[in-house]
Amino acid sequence: MQTRILLISSALALAGCAVGPDFQRPAPPTATGYVIDPPAEVTADGVTQRRIAGAVEPDWWRRFGSAELDALVARALASSPTLDEATARLDQAREAYAARVGETRWPQLDANVSARREKIATPAPGDPPLQDFGPFTLYHASIDISYSLDLFGGNTRALEALAARADARGHSLAAARAMLAGNVVTTAIRAAALQAQRDELQQLLAVQQRQLAIAEQRLAAGGIARADVLAQRALVGETAAQLPPLAQQRDALVHQLAVYLGTTPVEAELALPPLTALTLPVELPLRPPAELVRVRPDVRMAEATLAAASADVGVATAALYPKLTLTGSIGSDQLSGSRLLETFNVWQLGAGLAQPLFHGGALRAQRRGAEAAWRAAEAAYRQTVLEAIRQVADALRALEHDAAAVDARAGVATDSAARREITAARYGAGGVSALALLDAERSDRAARQALVAARGARLADTAALLQALSDAPLD
């Protein structure tokens, strides 16, 4: 009896000991910035964007000042099937953790009821005679209890792994929300930019068609050669050929927006903001990389996955050591037959200790596999951190290049507009032909179309930067 008490006491003392590595949160990156020699501000088209220290708010898209854009993001966050799936996966992970807690932290209690028909066998020749009771029924009812002591922390590590995976699912949901919001914003901006380019191209086409009509009149009057008319007609055809691809690209973006919002294109009824209704954010909060990796949901998801892999090593290690299970039962048995009726109260207590001896190397191979998975998760975490920093660096550089492109396109557009005004004045004074005026208008429209595209790229890259630096969108 003393030996049994000693064994149970020792097991309880060991229950708080967990083998395997204790997870340590990875150190943040040591880099203090994202790009080499970043300018404090960039100016183009009369708008200066400044970088300031701080955090980007979760609803960063409101910086663009568009009620239509805000409504699109809100619809997507409320109706996207992608988020519904991620939410269900999170619920599944949480319930898996709750189920394992119930299995390992508490004793298992079961009620058993059974009945069976039996008969004592007739003794063989030479055996002492037995009283013949005839067939009888054995009824059994009991409450059984069992509990496995966590001697080496295998159950504790398993719970750590499940909790970390549930945490990873939560961060996966946050990452999906952040990506969805960013995709909606950038898609809406690109669709608006394409529509604005298409509008400019249609106006340009109208100018070229007027030029063609004038050229045909001059050809009929013998003022120009037929080759000049053919050249002008080819120019009209080339411009007209650019309209369907722009329309197709915009339609594809609108269809993609419908999917983001959890509906079909024909049922979407989207109200898209025009490009001119979008305000370019002028203050861009920038947090250092060490802070970024603590709030980015994709990095935190990779960290939680690493924590789960670390706990899995402990689970595989604990499988190499003994397992102690305590069992107990209390109930009653009743015998009933033609010549007997007896009831017996029954109870039992027991303990079982199992030590793996030979499994063909499977248990140690499983531990080595868990260690390899741990190393893979650590490498995946480092890669995720690098990708997060790269996204910010790409967006920062893109804004610099966008500003240069917008500035150059704005200069061309200004010069083209001035040329058109001068040509119009000369045309009014009779100094140039109508064809020269229309050519100046054509150049002006082409310059404005290029400027529209550059402005759209600047807006989209600003959205990409804000998304890369922001916390997850609010629920």
| Structure confidence at residue 469 (pLDDT) | 93
Report the 10 Å Cβ neighbour count for 420.
Answer: 20
Lowest mean pLDDT among 69-73, 224-228, 252-256, 391-395: 224-228
Q: Is the pLDDT reported for residue 15 higher than 60?
A: no
> What are the backbone dihedrals phi and psi of residue 155, each rounded to the nearest 5 degrees, phi first?
-70, -35
Q: Contact 298/168 with Cβ under 8 angstroms?
A: no
Q: What is the pLDDT of residues 167-191, one digit of tens each?
A: 999 999 999 999 999 999 999 999 9
- Asked if 204 and 446 count as a contact pair (C-beta separation under 8 A), the reply is yes
Report how far residue 464's alpha carbon sits from residue 399's, in angstroms, rounded to the nearest whole number.
10
State the average pLDDT over residues 378-397. 96
Distance CA 466, CA 469 (A): 5
pLDDT in tens, 417-451: 999 899 988 877 878 877 788 888 888 888 998 99
**DSSP structure class, residue 45:** T
Q: Is the pTM of this model over 0.95?
A: no
List domains and CATH numbers for the chain.
Answer: 17-106+164-324+369-469 (1.20.1600.10)
Spatial separation of the C-alpha atoms in residues 200 and 409, rounded to whole Å: 15
Rounded mean pLDDT, 202-222: 88
- How far, in Å, CA of 263 to CA of 407, rounded? 39
CB atoms closer than 10 angstroms to residue 317: 23
Can you give the pLDDT at residue 184? Answer: 97
Look at residue 4 in the predicted model and tell me its pLDDT. Answer: 39
Interval 252-275: pLDDT, tens: 999 999 999 999 999 888 899 999
User: What sign does the dihedral 184-189-190-196 (CA atoms) show?
Assistant: positive
Amino acid found at 138: L
pLDDT for position 6 = 38
Surface-to-core class of residue 190, CB atoms within 10 Å of its CB (0-12 exposed, 13-18 middle, 19+ buried): buried
